[in-house]
């Protein structure tokens, strides 16, 4: 993907009206610190356009990045941050649900899982939630550079089993350090989800 233009066009908080965009939207979900901002920056060929969280889980907004006036990368707020109150969690849930349920242009949801760890209870919840909204999420196994090559297949298998992935679900290992996996993600987006 050649990035010709890039714009953080809309930031939605819990009380915001969600945008009615005219171009396809691709959303990214994952727990705080999983590497979501780093992935989005890598996809946009930028170092720090998307927020990189110093205090994980603090920003409870949905950010819409307009790419080339033809596509949106949608950064969903991270989950699983321990210091967030139950009330804040509930609001977070409503915002995400409103988006997943209501967006007319949402074409695909990517769910990020740290390749080093078995999926958490929150990861499992998020996965089943996305499936309930009618999407078959694509899994991105992040921080690939942190494990030995010989461990990769074993960890991917653990993610498949941990999330009880539907047969045929795509899992793409990715590293924002080496950028491995980036072209594969773009190719998938361009061939499957853009008109
Ligand atoms: P977010 O909270 O999901 O947006 O996560 P960030 O993108 O802010 O990343 C959280 C931390 O993990 C930061 O310190 C990143 O530098 C680091 N990180 C993210 N992706 C990778 C990766 O692929 N490899 C390595 N080694 N570190 C990463």
User: Does any domain span residue 33?
Assistant: yes
Question: ipTM score here?
Answer: 0.99
The separation between the first and the last C-alpha atoms of the chain, rounded to the nearest angstrom, is 14
More confident residue, 143 or 78: 143
User: Does any domain span residue 102?
Assistant: yes
Q: How far is the CA of 20 from the centre of ligand 1 (A)?
A: 30
Give residue-wise pLDDT tens across range 73-127: 999 998 887 677 888 888 888 899 999 999 999 999 999 999 999 999 999 999 9
What is the per-residue pLDDT for 53? 52
pLDDT above 70 coverage of the chain, percent? 95
Instruction: Give the mean pLDDT of the chain.
Output: 92
Q: Is the pLDDT of residue 64 over 60?
A: yes
Among 38, 148, 182, the mutation site with the greatest number of ligand 1 atoms within 8 A of its Cβ is 38
* Residue 83, phi then psi, degrees to nearest 5: -80, 0
147/152 Cα distance (integer angstroms): 7
User: Does any domain span residue 175?
Assistant: yes
With cut-offs at 50, 70 and 90, classify the pLDDT of residue 58.
Answer: low
Spell out which residues line ligand 1, taking CB within 6 angstroms: 30, 32-38, 52-53, 56, 78, 142-143, 145-146, 175-177
Q: How far is the CA of 47 from the centre of ligand 1 (A)?
A: 12
Domain count along the chain: 1
Among 27, 28, 31, 33, the mutation site with the greatest number of ligand 1 atoms within 8 A of its Cβ is 33
Q: How far is the CA of 54 from the centre of ligand 1 (A)?
A: 10
124-141 residues labelled b (16+ CB within 10 A) or e (exposed) = eebbebbbebebebbbbb
Q: Is the pLDDT of residue 189 over 60?
A: yes
Give residue-wise pLDDT tens across range 170-184: 999 999 999 999 999
What is the per-residue pLDDT for 55? 53
User: Does any domain span residue 1?
Assistant: no
pLDDT above 90 coverage of the chain, percent? 79
Q: Is the pLDDT of residue 42 over 70?
A: yes
CATH number at residue 82: 3.40.50.300
Structural domain boundaries, residue 132: 6-193
User: Does any domain span residue 148?
Assistant: yes
User: Does any domain span residue 186?
Assistant: yes
Q: How far is the CA of 38 from the centre of ligand 1 (A)?
A: 6
Mean pLDDT of 120-141: 94
What is the per-residue pLDDT for 56? 52
189/178 Cα distance (integer angstroms): 20
Q: Which two tokens stand for residue 13?
A: 């908080």
Lowest-confidence pick of 47-56, 59-68, 78-87: 47-56
């Amino acid at each position: 993907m050649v990035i010709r233009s890039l714009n953080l066009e809309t930031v939605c908080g819990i009380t915001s009206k969600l945008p009615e965009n005219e171009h396809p939207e691709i959303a990214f979900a994952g727990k705080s610190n999983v590497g979501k901002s780093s992935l989005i920056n890598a996809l946009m060929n930028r170092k720090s356009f998307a927020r990189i969280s110093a205090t994980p889980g603090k920003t409870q907004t949905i950010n819409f990045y307009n790419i080339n006036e033809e596509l949106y990368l949608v950064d969903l707020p991270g989950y699983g941050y321990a210091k967030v109150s139950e009330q804040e969690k509930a609001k977070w849930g409503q915002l995400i649900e409103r988006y997943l349920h209501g967006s007319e242009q949402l074409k695909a949801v990517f769910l990020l899982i740290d390749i080093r760890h078995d999926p958490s209870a929150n990861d499992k919840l998020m996965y089943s939630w996305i499936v309930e909204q009618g999407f078959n999420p694509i899994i991105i196994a992040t921080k690939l550079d942190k494990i030995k090559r010989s461990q990769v297949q074993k960890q991917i298998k653990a993610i498949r089993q941990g999330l009880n992935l539907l047969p045929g679900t795509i899992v793409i290992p990715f590293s924002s350090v080496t950028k491995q996996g980036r072209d594969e993600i773009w190719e998938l987006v361009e061939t499957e989800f853009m008109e």
